[in-house]
Amino acid sequence: MLELRAVTKRYGDRLAVDNLSLSVEPGKMFGFVGTNGAGKTTTMRILMGVLEPDAGSVCWNGRPADADARRGFGYMPEERGLYPKMRIRDQLIYLARLRGTSPEKAASAVDELLAEFGLSERAQDRVEQLSLGNQQRVQLAAALVHEPTFLVLDEPFSGLDPVGVDALAHILDQRVRRGVGVLFSSHQLDLVERLCDAVGIIGAGRLVASGTVEGLRTKGRLRRYRLLVSASPGWSQGLPGVSVVADDRTPEGTASTLELADGVDPQALLDTARAAGSVHEFRPLSPSLTELFREAVSESPSNGQADAASDLDAEQVVA
Amino acid sequence: MSAPLSFTAATRTVATRELTERLRDKSFWMSTVITLVILGAVLFMPKLFGDDNTFTVAYAGSGADAVADAADAQAKPLGMTLKRAEHPDEAAARKAVADGKLDAYVGANKVIVKNELDDQLGIVLQNAHRQVVSTEQLHQQGLDPGAVQAAQTVTPLTVDALEPTDPKAEQRGQVAFIGSIVLYGQIIGYCMWVAFGIVEEKASRVVELILSAISTKALLAGKILGIGLLGFLQLTLIATFGLFLGNATGMLQVSSDLLVPVGFVLLWFLLGYAFYSAVFAASAARVSRQEELQNVIGPANMLIMVSFFASFYVNFNPDSPISRLLGMIPPFSALCAPVRMARGTAPWWETGLALGLMLAAIGFLVVAGARIYEGAILRMGAKISLKDAWFGGRRRAVDAAA
């Protein structure tokens, strides 16, 4: 199991990561979401040991992660890059060897991976000769080549077409089935929602929400239902524990969004609706991760300010 | 599947990559061939143009044959060959001299040459002339030339030098000087490779992936060792080729004596490369784009250039006080010391001091260079100031994070 315990990192006056704790179990996929500059990349770099935290620790299976433990992790940095002039196969073998794989094992693992990614015929090509999509595949192969015990992927889906996204999701899923833990960041929240067992929402360096997507949906939140009933607005008034969020007149009748207090049976609501008129639509409304995300980051107090500061930094980086 | 990886193993893996990737690079072989061709040309040039020891001479007058024979006898021990030409009269001979077909025309009491009489040829011809004419004059005065000659034959003074100069010192010095020129090319070339390699890793961003696996010091050490080993092998190849070719063309008499300057050049390659590669590596780590590289390595480049010109001075004034200083003080000693030391005229303490100072400078630069490298290598974007790099180790690095 991978754990971050109360990790803090500052750059000068700015707190990039603030007392952040999280854990990812083997065979689970953890989605890391947050606005630009919220501290995702810094957290991942600390996780990989590229950066050292000012406080807190990274633990692997209960013990502080040392260089040897981290060498077992696979990493896809935000700043992609491989040696442009080195042949793909040699390059992957080299990276596997830097992570402690024996030459023979590295060679066979690379050949298997290249076959899996459909790149066997390009094995002797230089990286710079590949299309961007294929370069991205080689980059992922670089993270997988030593059969990692844990995967840290910074924005692995960015820049992929839908077919590429599915292929990558499939590859990750296979690793997860073998018991590899995965932590990845993404701005594609629908993807995170689809793939991840758990998510963490980070804002201004703090983990503002974390847990399963289902858990985040229900936690501290009343259930909402949407109904389309051929009745006039206000049909649901007087029902105990039901409050009206919206009641809009439509050609078919009234489209209502209702919030149910704890203990209210939705079937009782349906009965009332049927008594009022014919029911064209009746479904629970669960917030998407995108909505949860917006909610979470807008609740985070100092968020706006931190964003402005980090955006500035990001620009400096590119320049 | 991954196993613990020691610092040495990580360094060796990096060094092997640096070596093999460059051996596969066409530009490496191109530069090797070009260096060998230039060296070959330098060694062959005198053979092609300057075969100075054969002269064509014509003689006139009654004593022509006698002077010619005497001249041949004089020329032989000096390693000169005289070819005798015949010209019907002085006008024809003058024309031949003017056209450059004839080196000298010896008439009665005069020699006709084009611009000036070659020093050695002059000695040969003057001696031959004196011998023939003096024999004649002795005859005229009724003396026996044989007896006079016998009386004049004196054993030359034997020279007893208190501090004899090694007759081979000059040759050793020249070999070391040529070696020093090659050394300049090697040091600048291979340190540039180190610098390019570092910026390549930063520019392509692959450095973050690598540093997530191994330590910064292992990456730096592997890069410098791998490229340095290649440079050393190439320099050894060049030296072997040079000695072989010099021997074949007769330019050098290759003996164990000449291995001294070659050995000094190889030793000072190791020292000079260690010194400058640390400087180049620290400089290169400060920038993220190849375009900015010239900017940061300019001062180091300048230092090598100055040392290079200083080595010319040392070659021409090997024993001047300035040369002695240049041969001892880093970084000048990297290129100047071999020239001075190979002659064998430098006292042992000077050689020892030069080595000691250089090793101390290397020790300092490797530690300081590694620290700057470590402080700058993960920071992308604009050039990192030396101060920021110095205080910026891994702990505070990657300001650019988000």
* Number of CB pairs, chain A paired with chain B, less than 8 A apart: 122
pLDDT of residue B10: 92
CA distances from A43 to A10, A315, B32, B97 (A): 11, 19, 47, 89
pLDDT of residue A235: 85
Over residues A145-188, the pLDDT tens digits come to 999 999 999 999 888 888 888 988 999 999 999 999 999 999 88
A109 interaction partners in chain B (CB closer than 8 Å):
1
Q: Is B83 on the interface with A (CB under 8 A)?
A: no
Instruction: Please compute the mean of the pLDDT values over residues A72-80 and round it to a whole number.
Output: 88
pLDDT of residue A318: 33
A37 interaction partners in chain B (CB closer than 8 Å):
402
For B52-147, which CATH superfamily applies?
Periplasmic binding protein-like II (3.40.190.10)
B5 interaction partners in chain A (CB closer than 8 Å):
68, 71, 98-100
> Distance, in angstroms, between B362 CA and closest chain A CA?
28
CA atoms of B176 and B263, how far apart (whole Å): 9
pLDDT of residue B51: 56
pLDDT of residue B3: 61
Question: In terms of Cα–Cα distance, which of B75, B58, B66, B59 is closest to B134?
Answer: B66
Distance from the Cα of residue B147 to its chain's centroid: 54
Over residues B287-326, the pLDDT tens digits come to 888 888 888 999 999 999 999 999 888 888 888 888 888 8
- The dihedrals phi and psi of B252, each to the nearest 5 degrees, come to -125, 145
What DSSP string runs through A93-157?
HHHHHHTT--HHHHHHHHHHHHHHTT-GGGTTSBGGGS-HHHHHHHHHHHHHTT--SEEEEESTT
For B210, the token pair is 């690598």
Under 8 Å CB-to-CB from B21, ≥6 apart: which residues? A83, A85, A86, A90
Instruction: Please compute the mean of the pLDDT values over residues B179-184 and round it to a whole number.
Output: 86
Q: Would you call A316 and B206 a contact, using CB atoms and an 8 Å cutoff?
A: no
B396 interaction partners in chain A (CB closer than 8 Å):
11
Give percent of chain B with pLDDT exceeding 70: 92
> Distance, in angstroms, between B200 CA and closest chain A CA?
8
Q: Is B382 on the interface with A (CB under 8 A)?
A: yes
Asked if A36 contacts B402 with a C-beta cutoff of 8 angstroms, the reply is yes
Over residues A280-292, the pLDDT tens digits come to 999 988 777 887 7
Instruction: Please compute the mean of the pLDDT values over residues A102-111 and round it to a whole number.
Output: 93
Structure-token match 């858990």, residue found: A215
CA distances from A313 to B207, B288, B375, B402 (A): 21, 17, 19, 8
CA atoms of B377 and B106, how far apart (whole Å): 76
| A159 conformational bin, left if phi > 0, alpha if psi -120 to 50, beta if neither | left
Query: pLDDT band for position A248 (50/70/90)?
Result: confident
Instruction: Please compute the mean of the pLDDT values over residues B210-239 and round it to a whole number.
Output: 91
Confidence check: pLDDT of B400 > 60: no
Select the residue of B200, B212, B400 nearest A49 (Cβ to Cβ). B212
pLDDT of residue B47: 62
Question: In terms of Cα–Cα distance, which of A110, A291, A277, A119 is closest to A209?
Answer: A291
Asked if B122 contacts B115 with a C-beta cutoff of 8 angstroms, the reply is no
Over residues B363-373, the pLDDT tens digits come to 998 888 888 88
Instruction: Please compute the mean of the pLDDT values over residues A215-242 and round it to a whole number.
Output: 83
pLDDT of residue A191: 87
Query: pLDDT band for position B181 (50/70/90)?
Result: confident
Over residues B195-206, the pLDDT tens digits come to 999 999 988 889
Confidence check: pLDDT of B18 > 90: yes
CA distances from A190 to A86, A185, A286, A291, B131 (A): 36, 12, 14, 11, 111
What is the chain A residue with the closest CA to B402?
Answer: A37
CA atoms of B67 and A6, how far apart (whole Å): 105
CA atoms of A296 and A35, how far apart (whole Å): 11
CA atoms of A152 and A31, how far apart (whole Å): 10
Instruction: Please compute the mean of the pLDDT values over residues B273-288 and round it to a whole number.
Output: 90
Confidence check: pLDDT of A306 > 50: no
Cβ–Cβ contacts within 10 Å for residue B24, how many?
Answer: 13
Q: Is B229 on the interface with A (CB under 8 A)?
A: no
User: Rounded mean pLDDT of chain A?
Assistant: 85
A95 interaction partners in chain B (CB closer than 8 Å):
209-210, 213
A33 beta partners: A201
Q: Selecting from 1.10.238, 1.10.8, 3.30.70, 2.60.34, what CATH number does the domain A222-285 have?
A: 3.30.70
A81 interaction partners in chain B (CB closer than 8 Å):
204-209
B219 interaction partners in chain A (CB closer than 8 Å):
none
Instruction: Please compute the mean of the pLDDT values over residues B238-252 and round it to a whole number.
Output: 80
CA atoms of B222 and B8, how far apart (whole Å): 9
Mutation target for A interface from B5, B200, B206: give the one with most A CBs within 10 A: B206
Over residues B58-69, the pLDDT tens digits come to 888 777 888 888
> Distance, in angstroms, between A140 CA and closest chain B CA?
11
What is the chain A residue with the closest CA to B197?
Answer: A83
CA atoms of B244 and B368, how far apart (whole Å): 41
CA atoms of B10 and B211, how far apart (whole Å): 11
Query: pLDDT band for position B194 (50/70/90)?
Result: very high
Domain boundaries, chain A: 2-212, 222-285
Question: In terms of Cα–Cα distance, which of B401, B47, B77, B176 is closest to A185?
Answer: B401
User: Rounded mean pLDDT of chain B?
Assistant: 84
Query: pLDDT band for position A93 (50/70/90)?
Result: very high
Confidence check: pLDDT of B180 > 80: yes
The two most distant CA atoms of chain A are separated, in Å, by: 75
pLDDT of residue A181: 94
Over residues A193-210, the pLDDT tens digits come to 889 989 998 888 888 888
Over residues A22-63, the pLDDT tens digits come to 999 999 999 999 888 888 999 999 999 888 899 999 999 989
Over residues B136-163, the pLDDT tens digits come to 888 888 888 788 878 877 887 888 877 7
Instruction: Please compute the mean of the pLDDT values over residues B320-343 and round it to a whole number.
Output: 86
Structure-token match 């002339």, residue found: B129
Q: Is B208 on the interface with A (CB under 8 A)?
A: yes
Asked if A199 contacts A40 with a C-beta cutoff of 8 angstroms, the reply is no
B204 beta partners: none
For A173, the token pair is 């899923």
Antiparallel, parallel or unpaired: β A242-250 and A253-260: antiparallel
The one-character DSSP state at B153 is -
Question: In terms of Cα–Cα distance, which of B157, B156, B196, B397 is closest to B292?
Answer: B196
The one-character DSSP state at A87 is B
Q: Would you call B213 and A98 a contact, using CB atoms and an 8 Å cutoff?
A: yes
Q: Is B13 on the interface with A (CB under 8 A)?
A: yes
Q: Would you call A95 and B212 a contact, using CB atoms and an 8 Å cutoff?
A: no
What is the chain B residue with the closest CA to A37?
Answer: B402
Binding-face residues of B in 288-307 toward A, CB within 8 A: none
CA atoms of B97 and B103, how far apart (whole Å): 6
> Distance, in angstroms, between A87 CA and closest chain B CA?
9
pLDDT of residue B193: 92
CA atoms of B28 and B34, how far apart (whole Å): 10
Domain boundaries, chain B: 15-45+168-390, 52-147
The one-character DSSP state at B57 is E
Query: pLDDT band for position A299 (50/70/90)?
Result: low
CA atoms of B66 and B74, how far apart (whole Å): 12
Confidence check: pLDDT of A305 > 50: no
Confidence check: pLDDT of B401 > 70: no
Q: Is B221 on the interface with A (CB under 8 A)?
A: no
CA atoms of A99 and A69, how far apart (whole Å): 10
pLDDT of residue A263: 83
Give percent of chain A with pLDDT exceeding 90: 34
> Distance, in angstroms, between B187 CA and closest chain A CA?
24
Q: Would you call A316 and B382 a contact, using CB atoms and an 8 Å cutoff?
A: yes
Confidence check: pLDDT of B392 > 60: yes
CA atoms of B87 and B69, how far apart (whole Å): 17
pLDDT of residue A86: 92
Confidence check: pLDDT of B220 > 50: yes
pLDDT of residue A303: 43
Q: What is the ipTM of this complex?
A: 0.78
- A2-212: in CATH 3.40.50.300: yes
